[in-house]
Every structure is written in C-alpha cells, then in structure tokens.
C-alpha cells in the first residue's frame, strides 16, 4: 500500500461528508402533503434519526402529526429534488430563507413532478419514484440550540423515528425474500452539497445476509 498523503487542518463551513438523500413526506395542517429533501439521517435497528433545522414545514408537521414517510431517493431523481431545493411548505417563508431566494411552494409533488401513492400505516403518502419508502412514527424530538456555532442560526431538532412499514421497488429486492439487494439498490448521496451516485461494490461485511 502506498503511503497516505499529508493532511492539513481546515475549517470547512459544512461537514456533509456523504449521506443518502431522503424525501420526507409529511401532512400539512390543511391535509395536503409536504416534501422535505434532507440528508442528515442515519439508521440503527428499527430507528431512523433525522437532523432538521428549525423553521421548516416538515419539522413542524413531524412535531404535530408524529408520523411521516422517509422516501430514499435514487440518482435519477436528483434534478427533480433540485427543482424543490429552494422551496418550503412554510408560509410565510422565514426571513433568513427568503433572503437567499427560498419561496413558498404548497404542492411540491407538482413542482418536482413526483407521484404520491397511499401509505399503509401512516397518513402521508409515499413517493412512488423512490426505490425505498419507510413509513415511520415519531418517538422523540429533541431541540438543539445552534447559537454556539453561529449567533443567528436558531436551532435544529434531532428527530428519532420508528420505522413501522418498509416498501421497496421489486427490482431492488432479492426475489422471494425480505432483503434489499445491495448490488442493485443505489441511493442518491449528498456529498459536500453535490449529488453523487454509483457507489462501486467492493465487498461484503461478515454480517451480510445476501
């Protein structure tokens, strides 16, 4: 193995080192559906933990309705996601967001050209185009102050969810099983604010079941 390159100390403005893009569908107060693109998420056992900045419609919906669908995006969806990247379901748009060009979009399904389909355990619909759709209930919402990082930043919330139903496109499921096929499931990744796809399969861990 060649020797590793030297490291230099840096102060990056973001730490988004690469996580899958989720589209959270949640129910608005008027019964409509909001879509929140996000990527600060991780899974352990039957839980998925989400990081959401304060002031968003998705977070307000999760706190009120206590349920959502976590739709895992595919690479082909990146431009549909970018079409709603500067949108919020919140009306009025928070000042810090309108200053950087965000606008209120009440129907993000239409704006992104995505298709809703009914869920089985929760009220918000799933997104048909997403290869993996996790119906989830909110277990706990913890608020975290961001003032130590940036005086005007407000807060973010750590939202712990329990996944209660999983749906997957048939072509990413190992036939006749409950396993997602890692050789065919290809999540869209968000890496330092770029959309990235096509992770090369290098090998399996000793715990892999397929």
Ligand X SMILES: Cc1cc2nc3c(=O)[nH]c(=O)nc-3n(C[C@H](O)[C@H](O)[C@H](O)COP(=O)(O)O)c2cc1C
Q: Is 190 near ligand X (CB under 6 A)?
A: yes
Q: Is 141 near ligand X (CB under 6 A)?
A: no
Q: Is 38 near ligand X (CB under 6 A)?
A: yes
Q: Provide the minimum distance between the beta carbon of 93 and ligand X in the complex, in angstroms, as a whole number.
A: 9
Tell me which of 25, 28, 36, 119 binds ligand X, using CB under 6 A.
36
Tell me which of 20, 21, 129, 136 binds ligand X, using CB under 6 A.
21
Q: Is 90 near ligand X (CB under 6 A)?
A: yes
Strands 194-196 and 33-38: unpaired
- Cα–Cα distance between 203 and 136 in angstroms, integer? 30
By beta-carbon distance, which residue lies closest to ligand X?
58
> Is the backbone peptide bond immediately before 92 cis, with ω within 30 degrees of 0?
yes
Residue 160: helix, strand or coil by DSSP? strand
Q: Is 48 near ligand X (CB under 6 A)?
A: no
| Residue 169 burial class via C-beta count within 10 angstroms: exposed 0-12, middle 13-18, buried 19 and up | middle
Residue ranges in the chain assigned as alpha helix (H)? 57-65, 78-83, 95-98, 108-112
Tell me which of 49, 53, 164, 182 binds ligand X, using CB under 6 A.
53
- Count Cβ neighbours within 10 Å for each residue of 21-60 and write b for 16 or more, e otherwise: bbbbbbbbeeeebbbbbbbbbeeeeeebbbebbbbbbbbb
- Choices 52-60, 124-132, 138-146, 201-209 (CB under 6 A): range interacting with ligand X: 52-60
Q: Provide the minimum distance between the beta carbon of 89 and ligand X in the complex, in angstroms, as a whole number.
A: 3
- Choices 62-70, 86-94, 123-131, 162-170 (CB under 6 A): range interacting with ligand X: 86-94
List interacting residues with ligand X (CB under 6 A): 21, 34, 36-40, 51-53, 56-58, 81, 85, 88-90, 102, 190
């Amino acid at each position: 193995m060649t020797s590793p390159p030297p490291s230099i100390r840096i102060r990056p403005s973001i730490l988004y080192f690469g996580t899958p893009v989720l589209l959270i569908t949640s129910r608005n107060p008027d019964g409509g559906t909001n879509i929140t693109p996000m990527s600060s998420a991780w899974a352990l056992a039957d839980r998925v933990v989400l990081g959401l900045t304060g002031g968003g419609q998705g977070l307000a919906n999760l706190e009120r309705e206590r349920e959502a669908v976590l739709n895992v995006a595919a690479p082909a969806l990146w431009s549909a996601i970018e079409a709603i990247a500067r949108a919020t379901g919140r009306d009025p748009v928070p000042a810090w967001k309108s200053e950087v060009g965000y606008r209120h979009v009440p129907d993000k399904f239409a704006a992104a050209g995505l298709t809703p389909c009914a869920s089985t355990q929760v009220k918000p619909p799933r997104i048909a185009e997403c290869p993996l759709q996790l119906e989830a209930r909110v277990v706990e919402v913890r608020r975290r102050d961001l003032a130590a990082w940036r005086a005007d930043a407000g807060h973010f919330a750590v939202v712990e969810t329990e996944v209660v139903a999983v749906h997957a496109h048939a072509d990413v499921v190992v036939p006749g099983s409950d396993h997602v096929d890692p050789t065919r499931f290809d999540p869209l990744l968000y890496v330092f604010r770029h959309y990235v796809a096509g992770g090369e399969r290098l090998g399996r861990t000793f715990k892999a079941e397929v």
